[in-house]
């Protein structure tokens, strides 16, 4: 059984880049989906998604996270051919941009195809539980992974979620998945964990996780968080999804203060500004100079 201590690392090893996560990094969300909760609702346009990649980098994103499946509450996955159709043209473009490229997927065919194109990271909301995915990742020398907590499936995850101690249960799940990944031969420095804010959790569960987020750092892996524009922020502010930028920046900053080092966001420019100021105020203003160690 791998110990927590050996998993501790300030770097995230990915296929082409060793990312210094001793300070927060901004991961831009590039959804190539027609149905994400955060916007669009129109047919996917690969040119538009490619332009969003370029813009996110111009605004200071450190990494891009490209997704072809909406995992909003109540959603069901598209056919795998459709997910491939959405994601591949965007990944093909993004891998030439000189930054680490993550793909938000759970499916073996998509994982294989994007890694063959040169993607660096698999961000899996299902924590590499689909058949074949973990062994595919383990067969590659240095692909980074993000393992997220998701109880059940997005279609039903918000149907009365219950926990005894949400932090203990999310922590136990992440530990079990982390250990399974290490046992398959993936190096500890390739693994990042994510509590999955908004996934199978009520407002109270999300707040409890946020307040005790530091407890998850005891697992010894860097933490990713995705608060951006989520329903809990809408509940707290009374604002619709398009008006949650300030709330999202506030949540990302609070998560960074509590030790999260990969911030998954839609609104790159305001997040980068907020981090610059926070790092300068705490005397660490060299911090936003790029992720590659
Ligand atoms: N949230 C979403 C999707 N992927 N991955 C990680 N690691 N953490 C998250 O919190 C997370 C995630 C949902 O957000 P979004 O991609 O904007 O929406 P949709 O799934 O509707 O496309």
159: its two tokens: 């149907």
pTM reported for the whole predicted model: 0.94
Whether the CB of 36 sits within 6 Å of ligand 1: yes
Residue range 53-86, pLDDT digits in tens: 999 999 999 999 999 999 999 999 999 999 999 9
What percent of the chain is modeled with pLDDT above 90? Answer: 84
Q: For residue 6, what pLDDT band results from cuts at 50, 70 and 90?
A: very low
102 Cα: distance to centroid of ligand 1 (angstroms)? 12
pLDDT for position 4: 43
pLDDT for position 155: 87
| Active site residues per annotation | 230, 264
Q: For residue 38, what pLDDT band results from cuts at 50, 70 and 90?
A: confident
Task: Write 112-116 long-range contacts (CB < 8 A, 24+).
Answer: 112/136, 113/84, 113/87, 113/88, 114/87, 114/88, 115/15, 115/140, 115/143
State the closest ligand 1 atom to the C-alpha of 31, by its place in the atom list counted from 1. 22
Name which residue sits closest to atom 5 of ligand 1, judged by CA: 125
| Cβ count within 10 A of residue 222 | 26
230 Cα: distance to centroid of ligand 1 (angstroms)? 9
Side-chain-facing half-sphere of 141: CA atoms under 13 Å: 5
| Cβ count within 10 A of residue 112 | 15
Whether the CB of 291 sits within 6 Å of ligand 1: no
Contact (CB, 8 A) for 264 and 228: yes
Q: Is residue 208's pLDDT more than 50?
A: yes
197 Cα: distance to centroid of ligand 1 (angstroms)? 9
CA distance 182 to 187: 6
Name which residue sits closest to atom 1 of ligand 1, judged by CA: 226
């Amino acid at each position: 059984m791998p110990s927590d201590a050996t998993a501790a690392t300030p770097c995230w090893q990915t296929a082409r880049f060793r990312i210094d996560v001793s300070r927060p990094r901004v991961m831009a969300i590039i959804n190539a989906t027609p149905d994400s909760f955060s916007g669009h609702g129109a047919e996917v346009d690969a040119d538009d998604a490619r332009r969003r990649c370029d813009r996110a980098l111009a605004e200071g994103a450190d990494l891009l996270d490209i997704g072809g499946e909406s995992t909003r509450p109540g959603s069901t996955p598209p056919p795998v051919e459709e997910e491939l159709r959405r994601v591949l043209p965007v990944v093909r473009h993004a891998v030439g941009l000189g930054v680490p490229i993550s793909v938000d997927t759970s499916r073996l065919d998509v994982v294989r195809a994007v890694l063959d194109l040169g993607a660096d990271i698999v961000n899996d909301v299902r924590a590499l539980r689909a058949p074949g995915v973990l062994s595919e990742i383990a067969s590659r020398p240095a692909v980074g992974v993000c393992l997220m907590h998701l109880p059940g499936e997005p279609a039903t995850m918000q149907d009365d979620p219950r926990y005894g101690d949400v932090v203990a249960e999310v922590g136990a799940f992440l530990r079990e998945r982390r250990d399974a990944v290490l046992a398959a031969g993936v190096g500890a420095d390739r693994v990042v964990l994510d509590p999955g804010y908004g996934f199978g959790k009520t407002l109270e569960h999300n707040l409890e996780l946020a307040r005790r987020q530091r407890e998850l750092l005891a697992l010894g892996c860097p933490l990713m968080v995705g608060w951006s524009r989520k329903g809990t922020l809408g509940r707290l502010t009374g604002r619709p999804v398009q008006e949650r930028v300030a709330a999202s920046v506030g949540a990302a900053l609070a998560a960074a203060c509590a030790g999260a080092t990969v911030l998954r966001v839609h609104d790159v420019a305001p997040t980068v500004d907020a981090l610059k100021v926070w790092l300068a105020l705490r005397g660490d203003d060299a911090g936003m100079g790029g992720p590659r160690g």
